Chains A and B, each alone.
Chain A
């Protein structure tokens, strides 16, 4: 039988500090197991982690603006000027 502890405990705080590393697979396996166990027993931490996962997904999906053609052309021109400057040294 699961006994739910009170959310906000010391272990909740310790896990809160490590959530991104946990989600990114950057923690050692023993610590991952401890977090898995804690999550099974702590619905608020579970909900919080789910909301953080969704946040990361939203950030990853942010639209990528394409470089406008005039800026592409200005980069080309800057490069030509730079090369011209170098050959004139």
Chain B
């Protein structure tokens, strides 16, 4: 995502108290934060609450932010916290873990599983739609603490450092969870399920 100039201009407008700044802020990031909220929370109503909370809280905080480059990490930090708070308010779910041992292919046959490549398929082809549906399901089936890292890194295209700042986790944890999340999606595409262990 290359919004370097826009982010810098926008931050200046926010800090100058420009009356258009809030709308520009929502126009620039609205779709991304909504998509992020929807994929994390699963429900449209929850995604709406995440978007509202994120923009209002972030807009106020950004008035004192010094570094334009930090805008994206900061915004996703607020959005991530809003998503995680939503989940905490929901029903209790035990934290499920993905272990490398379980995700490693057991034999050469499993290692050779061919993930579909839909790059050349027409946009509305049955195979392409089926693959996309399976990928969405696979992402949804990941435990939240893995899913949030996959969303930030592979969909929102944050760097490891930005994701680490957004989630306030060490970079090593981001890398570990990202790898397991990707392996989990691959496994789901191969077998339609995830090898999930329960830790609490």
Contacts and interface: CB of A to CB of B under 8 A. Distances in A.
Which of A48, A59, A60 has the most B CB atoms < 10 Å from its CB? A59
Interface stretch (B5-13, B75-83, B87-95, B177-185): B177-185
Interface size class of B (residues with CB under 8 A): 35 or more
A10 interface: no
26 contacts: A7-B107, A8-B107, A20-B182, A21-B179, A44-B108, A44-B111, A48-B112, A51-B113, A52-B186, A54-B116, A55-B182, A56-B154, A57-B117, A58-B189, A59-B154, A62-B132, A63-B132, A64-B155, A65-B38, A67-B30, A67-B31, A67-B34, A72-B26, A75-B30, A75-B51, A82-B56
Contacts of A26: 160, 175
A45 B111 contact: yes
Contacts of A68: 34, 44
Interface in B166-195: 175, 178-179, 182-183, 185-186, 189
Interface in B26-51: 26, 30-35, 38, 44, 47-48, 51
Which of B31, B104, B111, B112 has the most A CB atoms < 10 Å from its CB? B111
B26 A13 contact: no
Interface in A7-24: 7-8, 13, 16-17, 19-21, 24
Interface of B: 22-23, 26, 30-35, 38, 44, 47-48, 51-52, 55-56, 59, 100, 104-105, 107-108, 111-119, 131-132, 135-136, 139, 150, 154-155, 157, 160, 175, 178-179, 182-183, 185-186, 189
Contacts of B107: 7-8
